[in-house]
Amino acid sequence: MALVQVRNSFPQGRARQYSLEKPFWWPTTAPVPPSYVYISKEHNVLGGFAFIGEGIPVATGAAFTSKYKREVLGEKDCDEVTVAFFGDGTCNNGQFYECLNMAALWKLPIVFVVENNLWAIGMSHLRSTSDPQIWKKGPAFGMPGVHVDGMDVLKVREVAKEAIGRARRGEGPTLVECETYRFRGHSLADPDELRDPAEKAHYATRDPITALKKYILENNLATEAELKTIEKKIDEVVEESVEFADESPVPSRSQLLENVFADPKGFGIGADGRYRCEDPKFTQGTAHV
- Residues interacting with ligand TPP, by CB under 6 A? 50-52, 86-90, 115, 117, 119-121, 186
* Least gap, CB of 211 to Mg ion (angstroms): 21
* Least gap, CB of 225 to ligand TPP (angstroms): 34
Partner that binds at residue 90, options ligand TPP, Mg ion, none, CB closer than 5 to 8 Å by kind: ligand TPP
* Least gap, CB of 250 to ligand TPP (angstroms): 25
**Would you call 77 helix, strand, or coil by DSSP?**
coil
Task: Check binding of 177 to Mg ion (CB under 5 A).
Answer: no
Q: Which is nearer to ligand TPP, 155 or 186 (CB)?
A: 186
What are the angstrom distances between the C-alpha of 135 and each of 32, 111, 154? 36, 12, 19
Cβ atoms of residues 170 and 107 within 8 Å: yes
Cα(57)–Cα(38) distance, rounded to whole angstroms? 17
Cβ atoms of residues 36 and 4 within 8 Å: yes
Q: Which is nearer to ligand TPP, 121 or 209 (CB)?
A: 121
* Least gap, CB of 50 to ligand TPP (angstroms): 6
Half-sphere exposure of 183 (CA within 13 A, CB side): 8
The values of phi and psi at residue 9, to 5°, are: -105, 5
* Least gap, CB of 80 to ligand TPP (angstroms): 25
* Least gap, CB of 99 to ligand TPP (angstroms): 15
Half-sphere exposure of 153 (CA within 13 A, CB side): 10
Partner that binds at residue 121, options Mg ion, ligand TPP, none, CB closer than 5 to 8 Å by kind: ligand TPP
How big is the CA angle at 69 (ends 65 and 75), to the nearest 5 degrees?
Answer: 155
Task: Check binding of 90 to Mg ion (CB under 5 A).
Answer: no
CB-nearest residue to Mg ion: 87
Partner that binds at residue 51, options Mg ion, ligand TPP, none, CB closer than 5 to 8 Å by kind: ligand TPP
Q: Which of residues 27, 33, 48, 87 is near Mg ion by CB under 5 A?
A: 87
From 55-63, 110-118, 198-206, 239-247, give the range in contact with Mg ion by CB under 5 A. Answer: 110-118
The DSSP string of 160-171 is: HHHHHHHHHTT-
Cα(10)–Cα(107) distance, rounded to whole angstroms? 33
Q: Any long-range contacts for 22-27 (C-beta under 8 Å, 24+ apart)?
A: 23/246, 23/250, 25/245, 25/248, 27/241, 27/245
Q: Which of residues 38, 47, 82, 88 is near Mg ion by CB under 5 A?
A: 88
Q: Which is nearer to ligand TPP, 16 or 125 (CB)?
A: 125
Cα(180)–Cα(125) distance, rounded to whole angstroms? 12
Task: Check binding of 117 to Mg ion (CB under 5 A).
Answer: yes
DSSP 268: T
* Least gap, CB of 197 to Mg ion (angstroms): 19
* Least gap, CB of 121 to ligand TPP (angstroms): 5
What are the angstrom distances between the C-alpha of 107 and each of 171, 174, 189, 278? 6, 10, 40, 48
Task: Check binding of 179 to Mg ion (CB under 5 A).
Answer: no
From 37-45, 53-61, 112-120, 162-170, give the range in contact with Mg ion by CB under 5 A. Answer: 112-120
Binding site for Mg ion (CB under 5 A): 87-88, 117, 120
